Amino acid sequence: MSTTSDTIAPRQIPDRLDRPLVSLVFSWEALLVLVAVAIFVANSLASPYFLDAWSLSDLTFNFTEKGLIALAMALLIISGEIDLSVAAIVALASTLMGMAVQAGVGTPGLVAIGIVAGLACGAFNGLLVTRFGLPSIVVTIGTMSLFRGIAFIILGDQAYKGYPAGFAFFGQGYVWWVVSFELVLFLAAAIVYGFLLHRTSFGRRVFAIGNNPVAAQYSGVRVGRIKFVLFCLTGLMAGIASVLITSRLGSTRPSIAQGYELEVITMVVLGGVSILGGAGSIMGVVLAAFIMGLVTFGLGLLNVPGIVMSIFIGLLLITVIALPIVWRRIKGRRAA
């Protein structure tokens, strides 16, 4: 007791403190790397087909699209908000691209439509949350129904096909050997978002808002504007993901990307972002994306049905969150 009495523990701001080696070893990212390596080894032992360049390349398609959305979602959740409508934005953007195809729009036009549609949906969410001060979890449950509902109104039980040949590159093309365009885009976006969150004043403001929005406001941070930008970014990434998914599948149905929102949020939380806001890192989210891809792909090679995989994802989510809490409890008990 006497040793700690003179140093009152400061409020933890977990981003970018000069961490000693010990805390780095016990950090969330280290835990995730450990989990990833364990799953990787288990996979290569379990299936002879796993350790193959093309297999590993196929693996990345399992998470790049959701991962792109997760990057922006991480920032949004760090700021204390959430967007449940991302999958619906994907569906609406894809539907609008499908409409444009019927009107004879070419590949560059399609990409622009997908991205702008995503951005517009994100801005709509942002407007409702920041201008009218509504809780984002409910607003985005509403817009989730609204966006996907519009897709259903336009498409009904039909499907759009006939995307131009050049459009297929985004979801099916390879930049070099087994390195897909999707993977390159995901890694590039991860670097951009990592820089934005951890190396810019904008990122510091996002953390500040998440830790204490009132204090941030009084410190001159434009809380509303930054949250609005974050909603726009999330919509933008959903629009980009929509381009990739539509290109990969080559068709649009209103039920496209159903249930993605929960997988994206699982990815973000698994990556160590606090669901209560204020803490998290892009590195963690990228690792979590890889882990989810590894789990689903490895189990897929073993012919485990997708629905059973979801048990593993769910267990992984709860155990990875619970472990540090239990660990701290045990340590606390030992100290006391």
Contact between residue 201 and residue 291 where contact means Cβ atoms under 8 Å apart:
no
| Closest approach of another protein to the CB of residue 215, in Å | 19
Contact between residue 136 and residue 225 where contact means Cβ atoms under 8 Å apart:
no
Instruction: Please give the angle made by the CA atoms of 296, 170 and 33, to the nearest 5 degrees.
Output: 35
Q: Tell me if residue 63 falls in helix, strand or coil.
A: coil
Part in contact with another protein (CB under 8 A); list of ranges 8-16, 64-72, 199-207, 255-263: 255-263
Q: Does 89 bind another protein (CB under 8 A)?
A: no
Of 257-276, binders to another protein (CB under 8 A) are 258-259, 262, 265-266, 269, 275-276
Q: Does 131 bind another protein (CB under 8 A)?
A: no
Chosen residue from 42, 116, 127, 134 binding another protein by CB under 8 A = 134
How many residues in total does the chain contain?
336
**What's the burial of 80, exposed, middle or buried (CB within 10 Å: 0-12/13-18/19+)?**
buried
Between residues 105 and 154, which has the closer beta carbon with respect to another protein?
A: 154
**Best CA proximity match to 122, nearest among 144, 154, 94, 152:** 144
Question: H helices of 132-180, where?
Answer: 136-155, 169-172
| Closest approach of another protein to the CB of residue 119, in Å | 19
Contact between residue 86 and residue 268 where contact means Cβ atoms under 8 Å apart:
no
Q: Does 150 bind another protein (CB under 8 A)?
A: yes
Part in contact with another protein (CB under 8 A); list of ranges 8-16, 58-66, 134-142, 235-243: 134-142
| Closest approach of another protein to the CB of residue 218, in Å | 19
Q: Does 240 bind another protein (CB under 8 A)?
A: no
Between residues 176 and 333, which has the closer beta carbon with respect to another protein?
A: 333
Rounded Cα gap, residues 9 and 327, in angstroms: 20
Binding residues (CB under 8 A) for another protein: these are 84, 128, 132-135, 137-139, 141-150, 152-153, 156, 258-259, 262, 265-266, 269, 275-276, 305, 307-311, 313-315, 317-318, 321-322, 325-326
